[in-house]
Amino acid sequence: MNLKELQEQFLNSVLCDSFDEGIKKSMIPGGKLDKVSCLQAYKNDYTARLSSALGDNFESIWTILGDEDFFKLTHHYIKEHPSSHYDLGEFGNELPNFLINHELPYLSELAILEIEFRRLFNSSPSLSVDQEKLAALGDPSEVRFNITSLSYLSSSKFPLYRIWELRGQNSEEKFKKIEWKPENFFMYNSTGTVQVLFLSNNQKDLLKALISGQTLGAALEKLEGIEEVEVQELFTNLVINNLIVDLK
Amino acid sequence: MSLSPNKALKEKMVGVGLRTDHYSHLEESPKTKVDFFEALTENHLGSKGRPYQILEHIRKDYPLTFHGVSLNIAHHTGINFDYLKKVKELVTPFEPMVISDHLCWTGAPESNLHNLLPFPYNQETLNFLCDRVDQVQNYLNRVFVLENLSAYFDYTQSNMSEWDFLKELSLRSGCQILLDVNNIYVNSVNQKFDAKEYLETIPDQSIAEIHLAGFTDMGDFLFDTHSKPVYPEVWELYKLATKKAPHAPTLIEWDDDIPEFNILQNEAIKAKKIIEEVHFEP
């Protein structure tokens, strides 16, 4: 039997429900293990390793579900989605879709937030637009503000960030105290650490329009109810946190 | 940058694995009693954020080694050059003393098992591995270092011992060996062979680095968990290993149930004392 056949048989034994007879014939187990318990040890290790990676990558979901339900979930996920990446930090990118019909309706969005946080955490901040260029800006209504791509704009009917903040904590009491109302926030990395701004609905809509490439004037035209103070507050935050990377 | 044997002996280089659990401690207290840090290659491949900044911060004060788990050099499909390209781009600015991975396969491209898996030790796989090592070394333009792994079974298709295979591979391909003394001990108990014969067979100058770690006794077998202090039996074997390869830096690995930095550092200090006993005391 050649290397290719042996490796395929071993792989199938770990990934599938039954152990391949061919690989069993080729194995000399160590210790007091027999062939089945040896293969089972590798199979268990595979599931444990990938479950642990999902626990690291989606800690908030683990916190919400608790050990039993979380590991039931990870076992199903691992069976449907084998890892195809060398980096376990990338494992679980299909989890938001996998959770789309979960009885807790915010879990899928929470999984997206975890993925976005990791993306921001692992990125190097980009340079912001020259402050002099900003100061020299005349009428801003025709300007397109290029907002850093190291960001994530979230708008949910659930208090996602408040839930996410409780990850890894024994948080039952704190969880009960969460005010269940819609939430908008903008998560970003402009200094090497991930930070967050909470936004009103109008600020969220304005920022969304700017990110999509609209000029400030065009964006404001569609936001009749927005107050000047909301616009000023949003722009102050964008400037002081170096979130504008270019002007066009 | 290569490490000269005399420099390593003079400085008694003992390092520890760089783990996220210790980032804050090392930022606050960068002066330690260890001589170098070993970064897990995969922890830094996709990151230019905090993990990368920590690496830059550590490199200002310490030499680094890079240790990978995903080269998958023994898989029949061949080298993943996209992965190797990323490794090269990552490690080059840090001028590491050693770049290593494991002599094993880890799964197929479409389904990675994320485990270090054995393969049969015979002439067919030796020829295959020599060719693969050659490809890796040519691509990286440096000597590559491969670690002996802990395995819980062997194959009926093996007709060479693990230690003879490692020796032949290093002599034929020019690769060097990361000698994991804990893995030798674990395999010697599980697969019932003489660990000293293993150590004696490996050519002294082929050893580029030594790893030490703790295992877990599962009852039916010893499991290489890297979750405990180094066992006394492994320290005894280490005395022979460091005597044989005084030029090779030693690394303490601790990957699960990771303790406070000081406990890890104490294991490194213990290794330093053994080096002194072995090399400097009459």
The domains of chain A are located at 1-122, 124-248
CB of B65 closer than 8 Å to CB of B15: yes
Q: How high is the pLDDT of residue B12?
A: 74
Could you tell me the two tokens for A32?
Answer: 């007091």
pLDDT at B46: 80
From B64's Cα to the closest Cα of chain A, the distance in A is 20
Structural domain count of chain B: 1
A88 contacts B114? CB cut-off 8 A = yes
Tell me the pLDDT band of B127, cut-offs 50, 70 and 90. Answer: very high
Average pLDDT value over all residues in chain B: 93
Q: What does the pLDDT read at residue B11?
A: 57
pLDDT value at residue A29: 97
Under the banding of pLDDT at 50, 70 and 90, the label for residue B87 is very high
Place of tokens 């975890």: A114
| A11–B111 CB contact, under 8 Å | yes
Q: Is B240 left (phi over 0), alpha (psi -120 to 50) or beta?
A: alpha
Q: Look at A29 and B153 and tell me if their CB atoms are within 8 Å.
A: yes
In this structure, are residues A245 and A128 in contact, taking their beta carbons and an 8 Å threshold? yes
pLDDT at B49: 86
Whole-number pLDDT of residue B281: 64
Q: Which residues pair with B222 in a beta bridge?
A: B217
Contacts of residue B190 in chain A, CB cutoff 8 Å? 30-31
| A98 in reach of chain B (CB within 8 A) | no
Point out which residues pair with B66 in neighbouring strands. B39, B99
Structure token digits, residue A48: 């444990």
Q: Do A3 and B220 touch (CB under 8 A)?
A: no
A79 three-state secondary structure: helix
For residue B282, what pLDDT is reported? Answer: 61
pLDDT of residue A68: 97
Tell me the C-alpha distance between A232 and A183, whole Å: 20
Q: Using the predicted structure, report yes or no on whether residue B9 has a pLDDT greater than 90.
A: no
If pLDDT is split at 50, 70 and 90, which confidence band does B50 have?
A: confident
* pLDDT cut 90: percent of chain B above it: 90
**A26 at B interface, C-beta within 8 A:** yes
Query: With an 8 Å Cβ cutoff, are B190 and A90 in contact?
Result: no
**Mind listing the pLDDT tens digit for each residue in B159-172?**
999 999 999 999 99
pLDDT for B1 beyond 70: no
Q: Is pLDDT of B7 > 60?
A: no
For residues B210-238, give the mean pLDDT: 96
Q: Is the dihedral of CA B180, B256, B133, B12 positive or negative?
A: negative
**Rounded to whole angstroms, how far apart are CA atoms A193 and B45?**
19
- Residue A133: the pLDDT is 81
**What is the domain-level CATH number for residue B165?**
3.20.20.150
- Residues with Cβ within 8 Å of B277's Cβ and at least 6 positions away in sequence, in order, are B239
Whole-number pLDDT of residue A139 = 84
CB spacing of B221 vs A86 below 8 angstroms: no
For chain A, residues with pLDDT lower than 50 are none
pLDDT for B83 beyond 60: yes
Question: How are beta strands B99-102 and B64-67 bridged, if at all?
Answer: parallel
Q: Per the structure block, which two tokens stand in for B132?
A: 């693969």
pLDDT on residue B5: 40
pLDDT at B280 over 80: no
Q: What is the pLDDT of residue A96?
A: 98
Cα R_g (chain B), whole angstroms: 18
CATH architecture of A124-248: Alpha-Beta Complex (3.90)
Q: At what angle do helices A35-57 and A3-15 cross, to 10 degrees?
A: 70
Per residue, the 3-state secondary structure of B235-250, as one string, reads HHHHHHHHHHCCCCCE
- Greater confidence, B279 or A195? A195
- Report d(CA A126, CA B34) in Å as an integer: 34
> What is the maximum span of chain A, computed from C-alpha positions, in angstroms?
79
**ipTM > 0.85 for the complex:** yes
Is residue B8 over pLDDT 50? no
- How far is it, in rounded angstroms, from Cα B201 to Cα B166? 9
**The predicted structure's pLDDT at residue B10:** 45
CA B198 to chain centre: 16
CA–CA separation, B101 and A152 (whole Å): 36
Question: Taking the mean position of all CA atoms in its chain, how far away is CA B46?
Answer: 21
B84, B111, B123, B158: best to mutate for the A interface, most A CBs within 10 A = B111
Residue corresponding to tokens 């969460």: A178
